[in-house]
Amino acid sequence: MTDPRGVGTVSVELNNTAAQLLASLCVELATDDPSGVLSRALGLLDLAVRTRGRGGRLCFVNERGEQAEVVF
């Protein structure tokens, strides 16, 4: 990381697994914007961390009403 204040661009080195996951998500989301995919993923992680910090839980609910808690 080169700019922790978020004013400019930041270069992030990914290992092979992270790069494959990012590429797979870009294909799944039909986008050629990997930074947008990373922003969305980090936003979800931030929401999970903040929710847990307040004593809550973040859950996904599928179309059958089944819940799965976001854990990390």
**Domain assignment present for 1:** no
To the nearest whole number, what is the mean pLDDT of the chain? Answer: 89
Range of the domain at 45: 16-69
User: Domain tally for the chain?
Assistant: 1
Q: What percent of the chain has pLDDT over 90?
A: 78
pLDDT of residue 4: 63
Q: How far apart are CA 11 and CA 64, in angstroms?
A: 41
Residue 30, sorted as left (phi over 0), alpha (psi -120 to 50) or beta, turns out to be left
- In the predicted model, what is the mean pLDDT of residues 37-43? 93
Q: How confident is the model at residue 11 (pLDDT cuts 50, 70, 90)?
A: confident
11 domain-assigned: no
Which residue bears the tokens 């050629």?
Answer: 32
Given a cut of 80, is residue 52 above it in pLDDT?
Answer: yes
What confidence tens digit (pLDDT) does each residue in 16-37 have? 999 999 999 999 999 999 999 9
